[in-house]
Copies of this chain bind each other. A is one copy, B any other.
């Protein structure tokens, strides 16, 4: 059953952003491998995989929170990529980050847009974006 949670989480994370998920698991492997498992199990296996809210909506919540907090740049960068992978367009992501400015201030948005720009630059623009 715990295996199931981990498997379910790994499947979700692989679909969202396999590269970032594996990089994080590897980074944690020699200091806190159990915590890497918990990320798979709790974050992705328990929360992200719940019915009742689409993955697109979950990514909007996630990048909004990370942009507002302003102290979790690696996670914001990874999940802006996840948001793209989930089908949010560049314009939608940009709008979400602008929305954050009302509640968390202009620097939160400017700094998040700087990260978004870096993510967007890493891949060819598709017709959709």
Complex alpha-carbon distance, A98 and B58, angstroms: 10
Q: Which residues of B contact A30 (CB under 8 A)?
A: 117
- A interface secondary structure, majority: helix
Complex alpha-carbon distance, A95 and B67, angstroms: 19
A47 touches B98 (CB 8 A): yes
Total interface residues in chain A, CB < 8 Å? 62
Q: Which residues of B contact A110 (CB under 8 A)?
A: 24, 28, 35, 39, 74-75
Complex alpha-carbon distance, A113 and B120, angstroms: 28
Instruction: List A residues 73-105 near B (Cβ within 8 Å).
Output: 74-75, 91-92, 94-105
- A-B CB contact pairs (8 Å), 28 listed: A2-B2, A27-B114, A28-B113, A32-B94, A35-B109, A38-B42, A38-B46, A39-B106, A39-B110, A42-B102, A47-B98, A47-B102, A48-B99, A52-B94, A53-B91, A53-B96, A57-B57, A57-B92, A57-B96, A61-B96, A65-B67, A65-B68, A65-B104, A69-B107, A71-B107, A75-B106, A103-B107, A104-B104
